[in-house]
Amino acid sequence: MMVEQISIFIENKSGRLAEVSKILGDAGVNIRALSLADTSDFGILRLIVNDREKAMAALKGKGFTVSKTVVVAVEVPDQPGGLASILQVLDSETINVEYMYAFVERCGSNAVIIFRFDETEKAIAVLAAKGFNMLEGERLYGI
């Protein structure tokens, strides 16, 4: 249920994002999903990739600060109300969402929402109990 996401620290200078994508491209790493959080000074690029070790090695080799973060990928029908159904459950159990981002699956009619929780294990238990489907990392990396 726990998915490994890669987080990269990027200064707010021009070309840094392009540099990161080039490094990953040259290393043969495929990005499955991404989200960029920014402040006026820096940004954190969060990626779900097909090969975490290769991605980290390539980025560290070029001097980037990278870390791995545990996130949860929840599958919902790609319909209005999909996201709301999850969030209502989390809210009723007072589970805090640090951040989230989403994408649609190519095959099937589902959307996947990536969540970073304060209390990952509690969140997983709650969502499972309510019948939500959470994707395994392996499934996600190769999606």
**Backbone Cα Rg of the chain:** 16
What is the nearest approach in angstroms of another protein to the Cβ of residue 18? 14
What is the nearest approach in angstroms of another protein to the Cβ of residue 37? 5
What is the nearest approach in angstroms of another protein to the Cβ of residue 50? 20
Q: Which is nearer to another protein, 76 or 90 (CB)?
A: 90
Q: Which is nearer to another protein, 9 or 108 (CB)?
A: 9
Q: Which is nearer to another protein, 37 or 128 (CB)?
A: 37
Largest distance between two CA atoms of the chain:
45
Binding residues for another protein, rule: CB under 8 A, are 5, 7, 9-11, 16, 37, 39, 41-42, 44, 46, 63-67, 69, 98-99, 116
Task: Name the amino acid, one letter, at 57.
Answer: A
What is the nearest approach in angstroms of another protein to the Cβ of residue 137? 16
Contact 32, 143 (CB under 8 A): yes
Q: Which is nearer to another protein, 98 or 136 (CB)?
A: 98
Give exposure, 17-47, as e/b (b: 16+ Cβ within 10 Å): eeebeebbeebebebbbbbeeeeeeebbbbb
Tokens of 20: 């990161």
